[in-house]
Amino acid sequence: AQRVTQPEKLLSVFKGAPVELKCNYSYSGSPELFWYVQYSRQRLQLLLRHISRESIKGFTADLNKGETSFHLKKPFAQEEDSAMYYCALSGPLTYKYIFGTGTRLKVLA
């Protein structure tokens, strides 16, 4: 069955500290993995996707098929990174799009 697990509901870090938001998935096949972000009073929006292999706002995520993980990382957190982060999965040639339960990131001054 398709499943996305985000084990941390809340992650608090100090400004300038490294950040890692964990995401593990279950999928039989080769999924597409995404990170979405919801800033306060804004719409959910794409942060990055694994096939792009790019860094957005200093965030990166590497797909580890052996560990079935897609953790989101940033070396130096900023206060403006405070938001709700969702990991999501979709299979190629399918349209069922599943999200994890989300992790709220709070970056403290």
- Residue numbers of the site for other proteins (CB under 8 A)? 6, 9, 32, 34, 36, 43-46, 49, 86, 88, 90-102
Question: Minimal distance in Å, beta carbon 109 to other proteins?
Answer: 26
Question: Minimal distance in Å, beta carbon 86 to other proteins?
Answer: 6
| Nearest alpha-carbon partner for 83 in 95, 94, 70, 74 | 74
Nearer to other proteins, 66 or 92 (CB): 92
Cβ–Cβ < 8 Å for 36, 85: yes
Nearer to other proteins, 15 or 24 (CB): 24
Nearer to other proteins, 14 or 97 (CB): 97
What is the residue-wise DSSP string for 4-63? EE---SEEEEETTS-EEE--EEE-SS--EEEEEEE-TTS--EEEEETTT---BTTBEE--
| Nearest alpha-carbon partner for 100 in 28, 58, 38 | 38
Question: Minimal distance in Å, beta carbon 1 to other proteins?
Answer: 10
Nearer to other proteins, 4 or 19 (CB): 4
